[in-house]
Amino acid sequence: MIQIRGVHKEFAVDGAKVTALSPTDLDVRRGEFVSIIGPSGCGKSTLLRIVAGLETASGGTIAMTEARSPAQRVGFVFQEPVLLPWLTALENVRFPLDTAGVARQEAEDVASRLLRLVGLAGFENALPRTLSGGMRQRVSIARALSYDPLLLLMDEPFGALDLITRDRLNDELLAIWSETRKTVIFVTHSVEEAAYLSDRVIVMSPRPGAIRSIYEVDFPRPRGEATKLDPAFHHLMANLRRDLQ
Amino acid sequence: MKSLGRVAETLVALVAIVLLWDVYTRFYDVPEFLLPAPLSVWSAFIEAAADKLPGHVLYTVGILTLGFTIGAILGVAAGVALAKSARLERWLGGPILFLQTAPKIALAPLFIIWFGLGLTSKIVLITSLVFFPVLIGTLVGIRSLDTRLRDLARVLHLTLWQRFRLIEFPAALPEIFVGLRVGAVQAVVGAILAEWMAGKQGLGYLMTFASATYKTPLLFATVILTALLGIAVYQVIEWVERRLLAWRETP
């Protein structure tokens, strides 16, 4: 559903040209969960931000089939929750709907349903400052889903959380994904996270940022503790680690 | 319980000061025109309160409110304009810094020459005192917007107006209130000064009148009332701030 062809990004630092991302091709199928993994400076976030329209590519094309209105076709989950601190959890989730002019009642229904989906029923009226880091990030995910985007882009969404919260949110993300059937592009620097979540893992290498290898991941779903014990899972992680060297 | 104890401590300290003051004036037999006894300040206050004092207080509060409101609105508007236009800031940044650091009190006589002895020059003085701190607060507040919030606005395809109204302005409010608080203190100073210099109304006028006629008890009463007015103005701003900015991480 998304075709990336020859997308690259250069910028100038003190007159010298720096390549953040060399020409990259990537196809993502509808409903697929793709992870992009790589060390910092490999251009993985740049690629994601270009797809989101947060940065403009120096060249190349991105085609989205079955794209509806160009506005709000992608949901974006940042590394930090980036909630509006003066709005309650519910108001944060319905914020994109309110700004897009969706009727009050409809926005309210969608937002409360999504808060339930991310396990925050009962926290509708809580301000972000009263929520834990993990809960804030769940609100952020619900907000990204509120306008029902075709594509969900996640930029190291759990990178700032502790490992226990991270593991739990990984499982919840998979549950949400299997319920909503979104296409997900997930940027991470965690080998385990990439292997556990994805249908496909893309390894990128730095200087200049480029795709180094691609792994199909066909562990059965739903995944769980059994997946993490599977020798094939560890074999995959070893391969990913080797490619990251 | 703790706050109640603190209030009690403050009260005890106040009573102690007034008592010391009273004992001092009695013991050393200080003439009234130099340092009146607390009781005579109080009776001067009661006498004035029954007479023209409420009118003077209302007048001062009136010009204070008007000048503060105009200064705050202009300050926010100018701050937004400067934050949004790099060119405007290049052109006006220097002059504004000059005007901001210049003591505006020194401009008061000039305002009287320009705008006369009436209400206008008073309002202009107060407005100019409020304007700059609010402008700086607004400018800093909007400039220091979290870049991640900017990204969010882009992902959600907000219009420029939505971005300003729903994200930038609320996010800048804490900084704007820093400016408003400084401006409020300045506004009280400006109002009193303006009334000193011209006119026959307001607490500032009452001070000059009491001083010129050696009505020291009345002068004392007016000074204390002015201080209380300053505290009240500050409290009002703080109250509004607490209500509007209850969402902040650190209160």
Q: Note whether residue B30 is domain-resident.
A: no
CA nearest neighbour of A207 among A91, A38, A73 = A38
> Does residue B80 sit within a domain?
yes
CATH number for the domain spanning B176: value is 1.10.3720.10
Residue B57, domain member (yes or no):
yes
pLDDT higher than threshold 70 for residue B29: yes
Q: Is A33 in the B-facing interface, judged by CB distances under 8 Å?
A: no
Query: Using the beta-carbon criterion (under 8 Å), do B248 and A127 form an inter-chain contact?
Result: no
| Cα A36 to Cα B52: distance, rounded to the nearest angstrom | 78
Arithmetic mean of pLDDT, B32-61? 89
The pLDDT profile of chain A, 245 residues, written as one tens digit per residue, is 788 888 888 888 887 888 888 888 888 888 899 999 988 878 888 889 998 888 888 888 888 876 565 555 788 999 999 999 999 999 999 999 888 888 889 899 999 999 988 888 889 889 999 998 889 999 999 999 998 888 899 999 998 888 888 888 999 899 889 888 889 999 998 999 998 999 999 999 887 888 888 888 888 888 888 888 888 889 999 999 898 88
pLDDT, mean over chain B: 89
Q: At A156, which CATH number?
A: 3.40.50.300
Report pLDDT for B73.
96
Distance from CA of B86 to the nearest CA of A (A): 21
B186 located within any domain: yes
Task: Determine whether the interchain pair A72/B156 forms a contact, defined as Cβ–Cβ distance below 8 Å.
Answer: yes
Tens of pLDDT, residue by residue over A82-139, are: 999 999 999 999 999 888 888 889 899 999 999 988 888 889 889 999 998 889 999 9
Strand extents, DSSP E, chain A: 2-13, 16-28, 33-37, 59-64, 74-77, 151-155, 183-188, 200-205, 210-216
Q: A residues 105-164 near B, CB within 8 Å?
A: 127-129
Strand-pairing partners, residue A186, are A35, A154
Domain of residue B228: give its range: 40-244
Q: Which domain holds residue A224?
A: 2-244
CA distance B55 to chain A (A): 41
The pLDDT score that the predictor gives to residue A71 is: 54
- Check residue A210 and give its pLDDT: 82
Domain membership flag for residue B60: yes
The pTM for the full model equals 0.82
In this prediction, residue B180 carries a pLDDT of: 93
Q: Is residue B108 part of a domain?
A: yes
Q: In Å, how far from its chain's centre is CA A157? A: 7
Degrees, nearest 5: CA angle B241-B242-B246:
115
- Interface confidence, given as ipTM, is 0.86
Is-contact B125 B113, C-beta < 8 A? Answer: no
As for how many domains chain B has, the answer is 1
And the tokens for A163?
A: 């490992």
CB A177 within 8 A of CB A33: yes
Residues in chain A: 245
> B21 in a domain, yes or no?
no
Q: Residue B20: inside a domain, yes or no?
A: no
**A51, A69, A78, A82: best to mutate for the B interface, most B CBs within 10 A:** A82
- Per the structure, how many domains does chain A have? 1
What are φ and ψ of residue A152, in 5° steps? -110, 120
